[in-house]
Amino acid sequence: MAIKKAHVITVTSVKGGTGKSTTVLNLAGVLSLRKQKTLILDLDLYSGAIAPSLNIDITTDLYRLINDMYMNRFDNIENYVCSYNEYIDIIPAPKDPRLANKIKNKYLSLVIKKASTRYDFILIDTTHSLSDINLLALDNSDLILYLVTNNLVDLKSMRSMVSIYKDMNKNNYRIIMNNSIDKNRSCFTNYDINNILGDNIDYTISSNFYQRNIDQYVIDGKILSLIYPQKYMVFEDIISDFLKEDK
């Protein structure tokens, strides 16, 4: 029997607050509806948003997992995850943020390798910095999703990132324009944006997805794409395009 290998998708950005964590959660919702066993790995080490957004009590975290690997005490990845539902598990960022800088980054590849045989998908939430652990996540990914907003500084920084990918001849990244955070802001047209970026926008999260009462969903630990699958089709499109291209 062939050994299962999870698809690894990392969600990142060049600026903070562009909707990475919300996107990770919505992708997990779509995968859960597809009955795909999904692990969310929270690499926002100092202020992990995944467990709080899902109302999950943190009983274990990435620090404990990597420290056990380092101390040769690691046994089974299942002992290091918190479950949201039948399909979604998470490895939260350290419950105590003071432990974040004690994490031995180089073990991240091993974490992904161990989880790979147990899950269909691994979704990685990052911060916007090019830290060692984020770079490792990018190196280990099949697909990298960049969340950008309609903001000149964000778009110009993304342009530099696009150049780096082009220089490296890497094309496993997609750019998502998120209009749902600041729904009234739309300074640049798609034509302008493509010119600024030197690349195309692959997906758009429409301003119609703006949720005035998003905090209520956080309080209830609900995932929008699980409650309104029809409304959040863009996340389904991202997954189905990826699976088509991956064949």
Q: Does residue 19 touch ligand ATP according to CB under 6 A?
A: yes
The stretch among 18-26, 61-69, 130-138, 203-211 that binds Mg ion (CB under 5 A) is 18-26
Q: Which letter does DSSP use for residue 16 in this model?
A: S
Binding test (CB under 6 A) with ligand ATP, winner from 10, 13, 38, 67: 13
Question: Using CB under 6 A, which of 5, 16, 59, 187 touches ligand ATP?
Answer: 16
* Binding flag, residue 128, Mg ion (CB under 5 A): no
Query: E strands of the chain, at which residues?
Result: 7-12, 38-42, 82-83, 88-91, 121-125, 143-148, 173-178, 203-205
**Least distance in Å: CB of 146 to ligand ATP?**
11
**Residue 82 amino acid letter:** C
Which residues ranging from 203 to 222 are in contact with ligand ATP (CB under 6 A)?
209-211, 214
Q: Please, where are the H alpha helices in 80-120?
A: 108-116
How many angstroms separate the Cα of 46 from the Cα of each of 62, 80, 176, 218? 12, 19, 25, 19
> Residue 167 class from Cβ within 10 Å (0-12 exposed, 13-18 middle, 19+ buried)?
exposed
DSSP state of 89: E
DSSP states along 67-80: HHHHTT----GGGG
- Residue number with the smallest Cβ distance to Mg ion: 21
Single-letter amino acid code for the residue at 47: S
Tell me the per-residue interface mask from 124 to 163 with ligand ATP, x by CB under 6 A, - otherwise: ---xx-----------------------------------
**Residue whose CB is less far from ligand ATP, 46 or 166:** 46
What's 120's DSSP letter? S
# of chain residues touching ligand ATP (CB under 6 A): 18
Task: Report the site for Mg ion in 27-56 (rule: CB under 5 A).
Answer: 49
- Asked if residue 21 binds Mg ion (CB under 5 A), the reply is yes
Which residue ranges make up the site for ligand ATP (CB under 6 A)?
13, 16-22, 44, 49, 127-128, 180-181, 209-211, 214
Which residue ranges make up the site for Mg ion (CB under 5 A)?
20-21, 49
